[in-house]
Chains A and B, each alone.
Chain A
Amino acid sequence: MVRTTLPYGAPPDRDYCPSAAAAPPAISLQEVTKHFYKRGTRITALSNVSLHVARGAFVAIVGPSGCGKSTILDLIVGTEKPSAGTIHCGTERVEHLRVGTGYLTQHDTLLPWRSVEQNVRLPLDIAAHGLDRLRGRRTDAAAEERVAWAINLVGLKGFEHHLPEELSGGMRKRAALAQTLVYAGETVLMDEPFGALDFQMRLLMQAELLQIWSTERRTIVFVTHDIEEAIVLSDQVVIMSRRPGRIRDIVPIDLPRPRDPVTARFIPRFRELYQRIWDQLDPPENARPRAPPNAAPPAAGAGQ
């Protein structure tokens, strides 16, 4: 059994009872196993994964593709059910879709017929429906303000009335992020949100995300295959093994904050952390044997 407890406020107690604990972790997976069935054969995506994420922590999950990283997010959000084990968000056990969990996926899910502003406002339109609207629980002025705040936060001011197809990939990601910030409660899950962006745009978005996270402390679980991105952003990097996915190690990232995604890469400690994570990372399936582990990691930084 692999049992791993994060250093940030997660209770080390084995028979941990959520209601009795002083500060329950925002998310906790206990001995979670997940099987999928494809054409009659059973595929084990996750095997005995236990993970606790403290409130307000930024946790990155890295691992070779197909190791079940995204499955963890699907389980936390409740779109998939575990084959064994339990998942809690706060004190509540996850059994159905967890409405209000922010989930920024790899593909953007903006509605193409709605402008940026209308897309960002969608969660509020949904919330302000029916009885709530009659009771005046959310006045239109408050909604406008919140939408404007989110659009401003992601730097899309001036593009409110553009349709998604009129925006670049990076701007669409920002719009999706703004939408997520409008409806998300404490937890935001991100599945390779910047994977489709070019390197420069990715750096900009990382800076943006850190900025937002430092003002709006939410719990973020960030799946990526990019080790540099994981180190630059997170408090802990969870390293997953190849399928069946297990947690191989959890590396605390002790780089000082606030971090700049560009310059953080030049800190010597960054390279040590990179080396440590790289050494533990499985090569992707069907890959040729890797160069010896003491080979230098790729040169860091954006050459600026």
Chain B
Amino acid sequence: MSELSDVRLELAEGVVRGVDQEAERKGRRARLLLHGGRLGLLLVSLGAWQYFGPRLGQIVASSPVQVFQALVDLARSGALWQDLATTLEEVLLGYLCGAGAGVLCGAILASSDLLAGLLDPFIIAIYGIPKIALGPLLVVWFGISLAPKVALAALMTFFLVFFATYQGMRNVDSDTINAVRLMGASPLQLRRYVIFPGARASIFLGLKLGVPEALVGAIVGEFVSSSRGIGYAIQYATAQLDTAGVFAGLLVLTVLSLTLNALVNRASKKSGASR
């Protein structure tokens, strides 16, 4: 018996992963190379834009320097901050409402076969509508203030998060669920200990994909009717044939999207959904 235990321990220790320093050093070099390559690619693209842009025509392509100039002008005049605040408010409110409702509805439908079966065709039908087409209708319903943009952003986010939550919770292994039920878990405990943690990765994927969708909703809402916001600024610059201004707006949107994405990533890591 004791001999057996010794064999067992040896077998066990052989399995546990160790950290190989050699491999780590190689990994660090590879990462450095990767980041350097990315920076180089960015600089080459900007250089090409600066060189070829003006040759293609001012209105078509502008140039990085002009875009930067436009951005500085916008920031100096204060218009940039006002537009950014407006759009940020729309996006955040819409995203939070849409994501919250998505997780809630996904969780409810994943827990009820009856409700899921009943609502399935309707959800698919509504999902099939291009949400952007609802923009004008939302303006009729909610006026031209903040509300229609928030509604559109929420609608865009909702479905992604809803489907991700629903599928994630449905895909949790039924053997595991049964095993934990045998331990005496109540339905609520089952969700807390097994189903939500099991669906975490899927839910966070939905939340991540939902960020640019919320931006689309807010910007399209501004396109439909607005007097403030980055979307409005882009539309205004387009009307003035101010291509540099359009690119400045796009740049701001890119930064906004990346920032929100980083926030969701951080939350995802903190919750243990991804490492």
Q: How far is the CB of A233 from chain B (nearest CB, A)?
A: 15
The reply on A23 being an interface residue by CB < 8 A is: no
With a CB–CB cut-off of 8 A, which chain A residues contact B194?
111
The reply on A9 being an interface residue by CB < 8 A is: no
The reply on A79 being an interface residue by CB < 8 A is: yes
- The listed residue (B11, B173, B179, B272) touching A103 by CB distance below 8 A is B179
Within 8 A of B (CB), among A118-170: 122-123, 125-127, 129, 155, 159, 162, 166-168, 170
The reply on A77 being an interface residue by CB < 8 A is: yes
List the B residue with the shortest CB-CB distance to A102: B182
Complex contact A113–B272 (CB within 8 A): yes
Within 8 A of B (CB), among A93-128: 97-103, 105, 107, 109, 111, 113, 122-123, 125-127
Complex contact A97–B197 (CB within 8 A): no
With a CB–CB cut-off of 8 A, which chain B residues contact A127?
183-184
Interface size for chain A: under 10, 10 to 19, 20 to 34, or 35 or more residues? Answer: 35 or more
The reply on A281 being an interface residue by CB < 8 A is: no
The reply on B145 being an interface residue by CB < 8 A is: no
List the B residue with the shortest CB-CB distance to A97: B181
- The listed residue (A97, A109, A168) touching B176 by CB distance below 8 A is A109
- The listed residue (B15, B175, B180, B185) touching A105 by CB distance below 8 A is B175
- The listed residue (A102, A109, A170, A203) touching B173 by CB distance below 8 A is A109
The reply on A255 being an interface residue by CB < 8 A is: no
With a CB–CB cut-off of 8 A, which chain B residues contact A126?
180, 183-185, 189, 193
List the A residue with the shortest CB-CB distance to B17: A166
- The listed residue (B12, B178, B179, B272) touching A159 by CB distance below 8 A is B12
Among A100, A101, A126, A155, chain B packs the most CB atoms within 10 A around the CB of A126
Q: How far is the CB of B45 from chain A (nearest CB, A)?
A: 40
With A and B bound together, what is the CA distance between A109 and B272 in angstroms? 19
Given contacts A127-B184, A183-B184, contact A109 B179 (CB under 8 A): yes
With a CB–CB cut-off of 8 A, which chain A residues contact B173?
107, 109
List the A residue with the shortest CB-CB distance to B3: A304
With A and B bound together, what is the CA distance between A129 and B194 in angstroms? 15
The reply on A207 being an interface residue by CB < 8 A is: yes
Q: How far is the CB of A15 from chain B (nearest CB, A)?
A: 32
The reply on A5 being an interface residue by CB < 8 A is: no
With A and B bound together, what is the CA distance between A174 and B80 in angstroms? 61
Q: Encode contact with A along B1-42: 1 for CB under 8 Å, 0 otherwise.
A: 100110111011001110000000000000000000000000
Q: Encode contact with B along A198-215: 1 for CB under 8 Å, 0 otherwise.
A: 001101100100010000
With a CB–CB cut-off of 8 A, which chain B residues contact A100?
182-184
The reply on A31 being an interface residue by CB < 8 A is: no
Within 8 A of B (CB), among A4-60: none
With A and B bound together, what is the CA distance between A201 and B11 in angstroms? 9
With a CB–CB cut-off of 8 A, which chain A residues contact B7?
200, 204
With a CB–CB cut-off of 8 A, which chain B residues contact A103?
178-179, 182
Given contacts A126-B193, A171-B15, contact A99 B183 (CB under 8 A): yes
The reply on A249 being an interface residue by CB < 8 A is: no
List the B residue with the shortest CB-CB distance to A123: B183
With a CB–CB cut-off of 8 A, which chain A residues contact B175?
105, 107, 109
Complex contact B11–A168 (CB within 8 A): yes
With A and B bound together, what is the CA distance between A62 and B8 in angstroms? 27
List the B residue with the shortest CB-CB distance to A182: B183
Given contacts A99-B184, A111-B193, A111-B197, contact A105 B12 (CB under 8 A): no
Q: How far is the CB of B214 from chain A (nearest CB, A)?
A: 28
Complex contact B180–A122 (CB within 8 A): yes
- The listed residue (B12, B178, B189) touching A79 by CB distance below 8 A is B178
Q: How far is the CB of A286 from chain B (nearest CB, A)?
A: 27
3 nearest A-B residue pairs (beta carbon): A109-B179, A123-B183, A168-B15
Known: A167-B15, A201-B11; 7 extra A-B contacts, CB below 8 A, are A98-B182, A101-B182, A109-B179, A113-B200, A126-B185, A127-B183, A129-B189
In the assembled complex, 6 residue pairs joining A and B whose CB atoms fall closer than 8 Å, in A order, are A107-B175, A109-B179, A122-B180, A125-B193, A126-B180, A126-B189
